[in-house]
């Protein structure tokens, strides 16, 4: 016979703070917004992990400006390893390519022609789209494509930030899957270096293809908006087309939150990875086959990490109190 005691209230991790919101939050977020716009016009949009982290952290401080500083420092403590891993990931991609690397290109062209050539006069979708949509003057779809392309660099980080502020356990689950997806993509870049359409065109394997993922910002005079992105493109691995992690990230974020959203909103959410697919193919960054393999990697990520996380719980030893409850039934 065991004694029954009343459960003790949990000890708060920190003293209660005044509710967020109100005039203080509006002022802080307004200052952050103005500073962000000035930063993107002068320096460029935040596509570098360190630069993006700076703006995300500053945004959380502005949003939760009423909280004590130890709460903001806790955010930095949890996110510094994440940012360092992203920086290492970006640097390691470059090691997957060197001057002697012979990238795969022909089989990707053949795959896209087999899938779509019958409807596109034997051309790959990138060439077919640019022949019909790419003009010297910038159109609205170029602007949309540039913003969709940029979203790749901040969508997953922004989603993870919201999760960290609302439910840290789900943030950890998000991060486990996201880094597995990044790791499998990186391994593939080493084992199967693949060239995008713009590279294939430069080397005579395709008709003329322009790399136009950042041209849309010029329509608004934001010539400096893509400075960091253009510099990153020059320094990045030019033969990391397979799989397309751009569209894989877009689908990953949507799938992670899909079960928590009413089904009537699913088409709207799923339109994001489809818009990313159009952007990547039209701008010469990826073939459709790259996109499909990227989606397959997302499915593998949720399957493998889901099994790895839940399987240990199935083999945990039964505690004594569990045995007592079963015996007393």
- The model's confidence at residue 14, banded by pLDDT at 50, 70 and 90, is very low
User: CB under 8 Å to 213, separation ≥6 — which residues?
Assistant: 145, 146, 149, 229, 233, 279, 280, 283, 284, 285
- Whether residue 28 is contained in a domain is answered as yes
- Whether residue 329 is contained in a domain is answered as no
122-137 exposure pattern, b = at least 16 Cβ within 10 A, e = fewer:
ebbbbbbbbeeebeee
Answer whether 107's CB lies under 8 Å from 250's CB.
no
Residues 172 and 298 in one domain: yes
- Whether residue 316 is contained in a domain is answered as no
How many CA atoms within 13 Å lie on the side-chain side of 67?
15
**pLDDT value for 3:** 42
Residues 187 and 127 in one domain: yes
- Whether residue 7 is contained in a domain is answered as no
Integer Cα distance of 142 and 219 in angstroms: 9
Residues 179 and 265 in one domain: yes
pLDDT tens digits along 134-158: 988 888 899 899 889 988 888 888 8
Torsion sign (Cα): 218, 221, 224, 228 = negative
Integer Cα distance of 15 and 68 in angstroms: 9
Of 22-36, 37-51, 188-202, 284-298, least confident by mean pLDDT is 37-51
User: End of a domain among 53, 88, 123?
Assistant: 88
- Whether residue 13 is contained in a domain is answered as no
Give the predicted TM-score (pTM) of the model.
0.79
> What is the residue range of 30's domain?
23-88
Residues 58 and 177 in one domain: no
Residues 84 and 100 in one domain: no
Residues 84 and 115 in one domain: no
Residue 60 predicted with pLDDT over 50 = yes
- Whether residue 318 is contained in a domain is answered as no
The CATH number of residue 249's host domain is: 1.20.144
pLDDT tens digits along 39-55: 877 777 777 778 888 88
Residue with tokens 């062209």, as numbered in its chain = 109
Question: Is 104 strand, coil or helix?
Answer: strand
Integer Cα distance of 124 and 290 in angstroms: 13
Residues 80 and 144 in one domain: no
Domain total of the chain: 2
């Amino acid at each position: 016979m065991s004694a029954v005691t009343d459960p003790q209230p949990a000890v708060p991790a920190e003293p209660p703070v005044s509710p967020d919101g109100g005039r203080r939050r509006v002022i802080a977020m307004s200052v952050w917004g103005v500073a962000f716009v000035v930063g993107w016009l002068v320096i460029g949009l935040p596509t570098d992990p360190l630069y993006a982290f700076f703006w995300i952290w500053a945004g959380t401080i502005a949003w939760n400006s009423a909280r004590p500083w130890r709460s903001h420092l806790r955010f930095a403590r949890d996110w510094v390893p994440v940012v360092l891993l992203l920086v290492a990931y970006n640097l390691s991609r470059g090691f997957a390519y060197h001057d002697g690397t012979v990238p795969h290109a022909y089989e990707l062209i053949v795959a896209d022609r087999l899938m779509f050539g019958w409807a596109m006069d034997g051309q790959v979708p990138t060439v077919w789209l640019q022949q019909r949509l790419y003009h010297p003057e910038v159109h609205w779809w170029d602007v949309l494509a540039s913003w969709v392309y940029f979203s790749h660099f901040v969508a997953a980080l922004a989603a993870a930030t919201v999760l960290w502020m609302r439910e840290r356990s789900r943030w950890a689950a998000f991060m486990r899957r996201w880094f597995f997806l990044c790791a499998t993509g990186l391994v593939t870049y080493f084992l199967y270096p693949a060239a995008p359409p713009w590279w294939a065109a430069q080397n005579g394997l395709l008709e003329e293809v322009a790399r136009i993922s950042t041209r849309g910002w010029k329509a608004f005079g934001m010539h400096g908006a893509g400075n960091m992105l253009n510099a990153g493109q020059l320094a990045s691995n030019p033969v990391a087309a397979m799989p397309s992690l751009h569209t894989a990230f877009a689908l990953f974020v949507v799938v992670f939150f899909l079960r928590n959203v009413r089904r009537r909103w699913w088409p709207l959410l799923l339109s994001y990875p489809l818009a990313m697919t159009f952007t990547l193919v039209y701008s010469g960054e990826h073939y459709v086959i790259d996109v499909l393999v990227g989606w397959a990697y997302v499915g593998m990520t949720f399957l493998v990490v889901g099994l790895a996380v839940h399987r240990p719980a199935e083999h945990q030893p039964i505690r004594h109190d569990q045995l007592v409850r079963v015996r007393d039934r």
